[in-house]
Each structure stands twice: as structure tokens, then as C-alpha cells.
Amino acid sequence: MEKRQLYAVENDKIVRKKRFCPRCGPGVFLAEHKDRYACGKCGYTEFKKKK
């Protein structure tokens, strides 16, 4: 994934499109899978709620 896919510029401000890992902190994004969010660095996993 390229850096330009992780960020967007809106009204002269940088907006992050992905979520950060709560354990690792800012700068480490969570990968989005079909049923979960996962951190590749520390292994943190958060499951999505079913609708």
C-alpha cells in the first residue's frame, strides 16, 4: 500500500484514512480485513461487529 492511500488532504489539513493501533500508538496503522482490524507489529486484533 502506498502512503498516498493512507492520507487525504481536506481543507488544507491532512486526514488519516486508516485507524491507529491503540497499543503501538500514532504512526502504526491497523490493517482492515473482512471481519477484523489487525496490527502487523504487535498482533493486536479487534473484531468488527456483525450487523
This prediction has a pTM of 0.73
CB atoms closer than 10 angstroms to residue 21: 21
> HEC profile for 26-51?
EEEECEECCCEEECCCCCCEEECCCC
For residues 25-44, average pLDDT: 94
> Is the Cβ–Cβ distance between 44 and 20 less than 8 Å?
no
Alpha-carbon distance of 40 to 10, in angstroms, equals 28
Distances in Å between the Cα of 41 and the Cα atoms of 1, 16, 29, 38, 49 are 16, 19, 9, 9, 23
What confidence tens digit (pLDDT) does each residue in 17-32 have? 899 999 999 889 999 9
